[in-house]
């Protein structure tokens, strides 16, 4: 069973729909027992870093997420869900992230000819042997919607990069923790293959 953590994030329905397309038993929940009994856990997210961390704390989910990681249940953060795994974000100064991974979330620089937020399809350059990307060709295109990007402190956890005014750490993997800045659930066949790789771990 795949548990999608419900903390009023914006893209829950599209992630749930993608899981059902992959014939997965899926539950959208904020119940700790249900989350901890899942085979896989997904933290989706659209919105602001500070508001999202506020909701996670309001619903008492921070400890549950840390326990999922400690139990080595495969965990996937998507978009804002990637950013929340890290320590801090320029979007919400003073707000502490989950701090599960080391790094910071920075504002995409304003560059001539490039709009922020970054909305659209960008190609991925693989920088490691990421298990999410089995069977995915180099330079495959995926869909992004974001104004802030990850700069991971540990380069060895970065499995995919993209360029948009700066180098963006587009995906990370550490142990049983996986995260994507892009939206696999909105990235057509490539995205479905990435999600399939996750559920088949």
Q: What is the pLDDT along the chain (201 residues), one digit of tens a residue?
A: 999 999 998 789 999 999 999 999 999 999 999 999 999 999 999 999 999 999 999 999 999 999 999 999 999 999 999 999 999 999 999 999 999 999 999 999 988 888 999 999 999 999 878 999 999 999 999 999 999 999 999 999 999 999 999 999 999 999 999 999 999 999 999 999 999 999 999
- Predicted local confidence at residue 11, as pLDDT: 83
Cα of first residue to Cα of last residue in the chain, in angstroms, is: 13
3-state secondary structure (DSSP) of residue 92: coil
Q: Which helix (H) or strand (E) holds 149?
A: strand 148-152
Q: Which two tokens stand for residue 20?
A: 């059902």
Q: Catalytic one among 25, 67, 79, 153?
A: 79
Contacts of residue 113, defined as CB under 8 A and 6 or more positions apart, other chains included, come to none
- Predicted local confidence at residue 105, as pLDDT: 98
CATH topology of domain 2-199: Rossmann fold (3.40.50)
Q: What is the phi-psi region of residue 100: left when phi exceeds 0, alpha when psi lies from -120 to 50, beta otherwise? A: alpha
Whether 16 is a known active-site residue: answer no
- The pTM score is 0.97
3-state secondary structure (DSSP) of residue 146: strand
Contact present, 37 and 71 (Cβ < 8 Å): no
Neighbour tally for 5: CB within 10 Å: 26
Whether 90 is a known active-site residue: answer no
Q: Catalytic one among 16, 91, 173, 185?
A: 185
Tokens 């139990």 — which residue?
71
Whether 185 is a known active-site residue: answer yes
> What is d(CA 144, CA 118) in angstroms, rounded to the nearest whole number?
7
Q: Catalytic one among 118, 146, 169, 183?
A: 183
Q: Which helix (H) or strand (E) holds 63?
A: helix 62-70
DSSP β-ladder status, 141-146 and 118-123: antiparallel
- Predicted local confidence at residue 129, as pLDDT: 85
> What is d(CA 104, CA 101) in angstroms, rounded to the nearest whole number?
9
């Amino acid at each position: 069973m795949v548990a999608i953590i419900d903390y009023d994030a914006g893209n829950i329905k599209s992630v749930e729909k993608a899981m059902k397309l992959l014939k997965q038993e899926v539950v959208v929940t904020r119940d700790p027992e249900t989350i901890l009994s899942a085979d896989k856990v997904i933290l989706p997210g659209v919105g602001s870093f500070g508001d999202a961390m506020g909701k996670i704390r309001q619903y008492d989910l921070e400890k549950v997420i840390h326990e999922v990681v400690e139990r080595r249940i495969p965990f996937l953060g998507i978009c804002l869900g990637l950013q929340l795994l890290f320590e801090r974000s320029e979007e919400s100064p003073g707000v502490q992230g989950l701090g599960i991974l080391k790094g910071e979330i920075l504002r995409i620089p304003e560059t001539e000819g490039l709009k922020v937020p970054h909305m659209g399809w960008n190609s991925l350059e693989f920088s490691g042997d990421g298990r999410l990307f089995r069977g995915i060709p180099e330079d495959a295109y995926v869909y992004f919607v974001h104004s802030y990007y990850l700069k991971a402190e540990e380069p060895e956890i970065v499995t995919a990069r993209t360029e948009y005014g700066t180098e963006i750490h587009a995906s990370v993997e550490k142990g049983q923790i996986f995260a994507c800045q892009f939206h696999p659930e909105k990235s057509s066949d490539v995205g479905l293959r990435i999600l399939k790789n996750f559920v088949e771990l």
